[in-house]
């Protein structure tokens, strides 16, 4: 379920052309940090998630930048996962 929030943010259209950075994702995922240590923890979480997505081939680092771009496999996988999740939730709501 937590991945759904990340996928939704990453699939945002503004990241499709120029890619995204850690600093671009952080304010969209987390609330504003109250302490510098909390900011570092948030940065670490975003970094680990980006590295995990790189390992699975969902995003790729753009050369000579701090940006990442969604791969074709990532676009297909994340959008499919989101559509399945949304359809399952709507079916559960109808059944209730």
Q: φ and ψ at 89, to 5 degrees?
A: -65, -40
pTM of the model: 0.82
Q: Where are the domains of the chain?
A: 2-95
pLDDT in tens, 20-58: 999 999 999 999 989 999 999 999 999 999 999 999 999
Q: How far, rounded to the nearest angstrom, does the alpha carbon of residue 72 sit from its chain's CA centroid?
A: 15
**Rounded to an integer, what distance in angstroms lies between the CA atom of residue 43 and that of residue 52?**
14
Structure tokens belonging to residue 89 = 């939730």
CATH of domain 2-95: 1.10.10
Contact 6, 84 (CB under 8 A): no
Among candidates 49, 52, 57, 58, which has minimal Cα distance to 78? 58
């Amino acid at each position: 379920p937590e991945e759904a929030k990340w996928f939704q943010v990453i699939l945002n259209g503004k990241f499709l052309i120029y890619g995204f950075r850690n600093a671009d994702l952080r304010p969209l995922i987390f609330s504003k940090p109250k302490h510098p240590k909390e900011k570092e923890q948030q940065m670490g979480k975003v970094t680990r998630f980006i590295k995990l997505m790189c390992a699975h081939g969902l995003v790729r680092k753009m050369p000579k930048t701090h940006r990442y771009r969604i791969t074709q496999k990532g676009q297909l996988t994340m959008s499919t996962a989101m559509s399945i999740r949304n359809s399952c939730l709507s079916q559960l709501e109808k059944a209730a």
